[in-house]
Amino acid sequence: MTTLAETTSTADVISPSVDRDWWRGAVIYQIYPRSYQDSNGDGIGDLAGIIERLPHIASLGVDAIWISPFFTSPMLDFGYDVSDYKGVDPMFGTMQDYDTLIETAHGLGIKVIIDLVLSHTSTLHPWFAESRQSKDNDKADWYVWADAKPDGTPPNNWLSIFGGSAWEWEGERMQYYLHNFLIEQPDLNFHNMDVQDALLDVARFWLEKGTDGFRLDTVNFYVHDAQLRDNPALTPDERDTTIAPAVNPYTWQNHLYSKTRPENLQFLEKLRAVMDEFPAITSVGEVGEDQRGLEVQAEYTQGEHRLHMCYGFDFLSAPFPTGTRVAQVLQRFEDVAGDSWACWAYSNHDVERHRSRWGLSEDGYKAYTALLMAMKGTVCLYQGEELGLAEADVAFEDLQDPYGKRFWPKFKGRDGCRTPMPWQTDNSLGGFTEGKPWLPMPAAHLGASVAAQDTDTDSLLAFYRRIIAFRTAHPVLRKGDIEILSSDDTHLLIKRSLSGQEMLCAFNLSQEARTLELPEGAWTLEMASGFEATSDENKVTLPAWQVAFMTRAVG
C-alpha cells in the first residue's frame, strides 16, 4: 500500500503549459477580489492583494485562478455591471497591476481566467449613454429596446432575476429597455452584429494581455427572442429553484424566450474562433437554465467550435448530494453530454457555502471534497473552501447585496459567502485589511484562518493540498472515463479508466461503516491521508464518511 504523500512528487507532474487541453481535469480556484486581500487599507480587496497571496494559491497545487470582475464599474452589482470592458476599476488597482498579476501567476505555473460579463453592461457604459438618447443614433440598436403596449405596460411578461419586470421605462426614448438583472444592467442586443464584433474585440484585448481564458457570466442570456414572445407559465410542481430562490416569482415562468435562444450558438462559435487564435486558451460558460441545464451544456460545448466546457448548477443547489443523486447527475451528464466536458463546483460567490448548505461535519466535508476530485470533469473551488468556511451570518444593516435587500428575510442574498478571507487569527480583521472591511469579518472564521491551518498536517487546508496533489498525480482522475458501478443514498462506487489504468473510487457517505463489493481483480489500495479503509478480496470496508482509492493495470 502506498500513501498519498508517496505518490505525488512534483517531478511526476507534467506542466500543463504546453498542453492545449490543460483545462481538462484541471483544478481552478475562484477569487472574489473584493474579499480576498486588501493591499491599501480601504477595506476592499484588490489585484495587488491577489498578487501578495499567490504563494498560498500555488501551495494548493491548483492549475488556474478565476478572478471575478475587476473592470471599471459603479459596483451596484459589484463588478458585474461593467462601464468599461477594457479598464481596471481604480478600486482594484491599475492595468499594470493586472500585467504584474499575469506575470507572477505564470511564474508560479498558474493560469489566469477572468470573468467576462457580455450579456449586459452598466447604464453608465458609454454605449448605453448614447443608445438611450434617441432611436436614430449610432448605438440606438445596441441594447434591447421595445415600445410599450397600448396601455403603457411593458412589451411582454419577462421577469428579472433580481425581482419585478425585466423592462424599465426610458423617458428620453419613450421606450422600454430589457434588463435580466438590475435595472442598472441593460441587456445588449446580440441581434446587432456590431455589438457582437465589439464584444469579440473585448475578448481579443484580454487574450493579447496574456489571459488564459474566460469564465463567461450568464452565457445563455446573450440572445433574446426577437419577436418578444411571452414566456409560458409553470405550474407550482414544475417550478425550479436552482437558479432563483422560491420567494422570487422568476421561478414561475419557463424562460423559453428571454434566454437560451438557438441564435446564441452562432456567437459562441465566433468567440471560440477568436480564442483559437491564441495557444492553450479555455472557456467555461455559466449556464443558468432552470428547465434543461444539461441539454444546454451539451449544445454549448458540442464539437471543437463552441465553448470548451460549461459550469452548471447541479451541485450548487440546496438538495443534499446523496450517493443516489450524485450518481444520477454524473450518469445523466454522460448520457446527455458525454462528448462534452463538465465543470463541477460545490460553492461560488452566488450561493450559500456548501458546508452550511449541506450541514457537513469535518469528516463529511473531506469525503465530499474527495468525491469532487474523483469526478470526470474540471473542478472549481471557491476561496475559503480550502479552510472549511461555513456561511457567514450577515446582519441586515451590514448587507451590501441588492438581491438580498430585495428579498430579505426569506432570502438573505449572497453576502454570507462573500465575507473577507481570514488569513490570520491574531486580529479581528483576519489580516484581510487594516481598514474597515466592506463586509464584516466573521469572528467564527478567524479560528479557521490560513495561519491557523498552514502548518497543521491534520487541518482541512493540508487535506485540500493532499487531495489536489493526489488528483494531479493520477491522470486517470484528471482525464479518464467514468463508470458508475453502484450507488445508494449512503454510498457511491465509481470507476475511472485511462490508457490501461483503472481506479476505483469508493465513498461512504453516511455515519455508519459500509462494506462494498468490488469488481474482481487485483486492486492496490491507495488511501488519501486521513482516511481509513481495509480491503480483502473484492471487498472494501469504509468507516463513517471515509473514502478509498484503488488502482490496477489492465490490458
Average pLDDT over residues 428-449: 97
DSSP codes joined into one string, 378-434: EEEEETTGGGTPPPP---GGG---HHHHHHTTTS--SGGG-SPP---SSSTTTTS-S
- Mean pLDDT is lowest, of 2-6, 41-45, 226-230, 261-265, for 2-6
Q: If you average pLDDT over every residue of the chain, what do you get? A: 94
Task: Using the structure block, give the residue that is written with the C-alpha cell 450579456.
Answer: 119
Say yes or no to pLDDT of 69 above 60. yes
Question: pLDDT category, 243, cuts 50, 70, 90?
Answer: confident
Average pLDDT over residues 478-501: 97
Residue 496 makes CB contacts below 8 A (sequence gap 6+) with: 374, 376, 476, 477, 480, 481, 482, 483, 502, 503, 505
Q: What is the pLDDT of residue 245?
A: 87
The CA distances from residue 342 to 244, 294, 360, 373, 416, in Å, are 22, 10, 24, 13, 27
Single out the catalytic residue among 208, 277, 456, 488: 277
Q: What is the pLDDT of residue 18?
A: 55
Say yes or no to pLDDT of 132 above 90. yes
User: What is the helix (H) or strand (E) element at residue 542, kind and residue range?
Assistant: strand 539-542
Cα–Cα distance, 353 to 348 (Å, whole number):
7
Q: What is the pLDDT of residue 144?
A: 98
Closest by Cα among 482, 479, 462 to 471: 479
Share of the chain above pLDDT 70, in %: 97
Cα–Cα distance, 230 to 546 (Å, whole number):
50
Question: pLDDT category, 534, cuts 50, 70, 90?
Answer: confident
Beta carbons within 10 angstroms of residue 431's beta carbon = 20
Q: What is the pLDDT of residue 294?
A: 85
Beta carbons within 10 angstroms of residue 88's beta carbon = 18
Q: What is the pLDDT of residue 174?
A: 98
Say yes or no to pLDDT of 1 above 70. no
Written out in words, the top-level CATH class of the domain with range 22-119+193-471 is alpha beta
Share of the chain above pLDDT 90, in %: 88
Residue 522 makes CB contacts below 8 A (sequence gap 6+) with: 552
Q: Phi and psi (nearest 5°) for 31?
A: -115, 125
Average pLDDT over residues 315-325: 94
Average pLDDT over residues 358-385: 98
Average pLDDT over residues 246-264: 95
The rounded Cα 175 to chain-centroid distance in angstroms is 35
Q: What is the pLDDT of residue 16?
A: 46
Let me know if 217 is a catalytic residue.
yes
Say yes or no to pLDDT of 82 above 60. yes
Give pTM, 2 decimals.
Answer: 0.95
Q: What is the pLDDT of residues 280-298, one digit of tens each?
A: 999 999 998 877 888 999 9
Q: Phi and psi (nearest 5°) for 155?
A: -65, -20
Cα–Cα distance, 283 to 304 (Å, whole number):
12
Average pLDDT over residues 449-468: 97
Question: pLDDT category, 13, cuts 50, 70, 90?
Answer: very low
Say yes or no to pLDDT of 2 above 50. no
Q: Looking at per-residue confidence, does 29 or 293 come out higher?
A: 29
Single out the catalytic residue among 217, 289, 401, 526: 217
Say yes or no to pLDDT of 11 above 70. no
Question: pLDDT category, 464, cuts 50, 70, 90?
Answer: very high
